[in-house]
Amino acid sequence: MKNLLLNTTKSVKRGAMVGTIVMSAAALVLTGCGEAPPAPGGSDGASANPAAADYLGCIVSDSGGFDDQSFNQSSYEGLTKATKDLGITMKEAQSSATSDFAPNLATMASAGCNLTFTIGFLLAEATKTAAADNPDLHYAIIDDNSIKADNVKPVVYDTAQAAFLAGYVAASVSKTGKVGTFGGINIPTVTIFMDGFADGVKYYNEKQGKDVQLIGWDKATQQGSFANTFEIIQEGTKITNNLISEGADVVMPVAGPLGKGAGDAILAANKDGKSVKLVWVDSDGFVTAPSYKDILLTSVVKTMGEAVETIVKEDLDGKFDPTPYIGTLDNGGVALAPFHNLDGDVSADTKTQLDEIKKGIIDGSIKVESAASPK
């Protein structure tokens, strides 16, 4: 009896499995047909510059991958744009673990990449080694300023400057008198946003005589809410729900893909009658995360794409320069994105004040300090 039952389930299982395989194969073929472009002879981007076609611009991601809606993606898009604009050839490699960095870089070198972008401080050691092994090749590392070598250009961002503006505007639109933030992991490239945000809120309180509180980050102790992951999106939802239930009505997630979790939590809370707004980071969320258009107050943007393209162009022209690039409000490397759909929520006074603060930060009369700021 028991055997019979077992055998039946077994054959059912087997049938189901074959079915699944057949179905997925069919789906595969169908999509293959469906996506086929109607006309033959697709061009892979006309080369603007014939000499540039031999130039290899390469990029190695960290474990976030090129679809992280964050710095890997922005840098990748920058290089893709350079490929189109300058007619260079591009090679790419995604890393899924730290142990992939060195082999990816070695393979890039063996392919003869003229310039290789490495994304994130985690790649610093591997980049340093690869640069030392291949003195004739150039490297640029994003978000790390630890390498001093003739063939490595560090690219870093003083994000606290733009986050300061975001903190100020967040405090100005808060009705509950509480704004919140949380991070992926407590590391400098994350906390630099939170420090700037905290300072911006504090500055608003000083100037306007208000007492808007920041939940989720204490600049003095450098402790706060962290998901301890950049991968599990639901953690972002969880933390955001906590922040909202503590009264925050503006939330800035600094956690890469977890921003989506935060956005979903806010959408759900607003359905229940709350009025919570989202501050996106790294890229303009209005473009990269359009599903949150209607709750998106603004974004703290690092304009990595531009920096990447500029560096490629300089190298292509034989003007590679290993001095670090530091993105600031002044050179446009970091910026506060437009308010887009929520433009009406930000008062004209606040907008004027933001312009003044921006000038103040640029000329140094307003100090934005973070332990994580690039020196």
**Per rule CB under 8 A, is residue 232 in the interface with another protein?**
no
**Cα–Cα distance measured from residue 306 to residue 302, given in angstroms and rounded to the nearest whole number:** 9
**Cα–Cα distance measured from residue 86 to residue 203, given in angstroms and rounded to the nearest whole number:** 43
Q: Which residue in the set 49, 146, 245, 365 belongs to the binding site for another protein (CB under 8 A)?
A: 146
* Contact yes or no for 277/250 (Cβ under 8 A): yes
Which stretch, 183-191, 247-255, 308-316, 340-348, contacts another protein (CB under 8 A)?
183-191
Q: Which residue in the set 45, 77, 177, 188 belongs to the binding site for another protein (CB under 8 A)?
A: 188
- DSSP readout, 166-204? HHHHHHHH-SSSEEEEEESSSSHHHHHHHHHHHHHHHHH
**Per rule CB under 8 A, is residue 1 in the interface with another protein?**
no
How far is C-alpha 212 from the chain's CA centre? 27
Q: Which residue in the set 45, 81, 185, 202 belongs to the binding site for another protein (CB under 8 A)?
A: 185
Residue type at position 349:
D
Q: How many residues bind another protein (CB under 8 A)?
A: 53
Q: Which residue in the set 39, 46, 220, 348 belongs to the binding site for another protein (CB under 8 A)?
A: 39
**Per rule CB under 8 A, is residue 371 in the interface with another protein?**
yes
Q: Which residue in the set 12, 17, 53, 287 belongs to the binding site for another protein (CB under 8 A)?
A: 17
CB closer to another protein out of 48 and 371: 371
* Contact yes or no for 78/302 (Cβ under 8 A): no
Measure Cα distances from 178 to 56, 213, 216, 219, 290 in Å: 49, 5, 11, 16, 25
**Cα–Cα distance measured from residue 110 to residue 98, given in angstroms and rounded to the nearest whole number:** 20
- DSSP readout, 221-232? TTEE-B-S-SS-
CB closer to another protein out of 135 and 338: 135
Phi and psi dihedrals of 332, rounded to 5?
80, 5
**Per rule CB under 8 A, is residue 375 in the interface with another protein?**
no
**Cα–Cα distance measured from residue 178 to residue 56, given in angstroms and rounded to the nearest whole number:** 49
Q: Which residue in the set 81, 91, 313, 340 belongs to the binding site for another protein (CB under 8 A)?
A: 91
* Contact yes or no for 347/167 (Cβ under 8 A): no
**Per rule CB under 8 A, is residue 93 in the interface with another protein?**
yes
Which stretch, 106-114, 197-205, 255-263, 295-303, contacts another protein (CB under 8 A)?
106-114
CB closer to another protein out of 146 and 275: 146
**Per rule CB under 8 A, is residue 8 in the interface with another protein?**
no
**Per rule CB under 8 A, is residue 366 in the interface with another protein?**
no
Residues engaged in binding another protein (CB under 8 A): 3, 10, 14, 17-18, 25, 28-29, 31-33, 35-42, 58, 63, 91-94, 96-100, 102-104, 106-112, 121-122, 125, 133-134, 146, 185-188, 228, 371-372
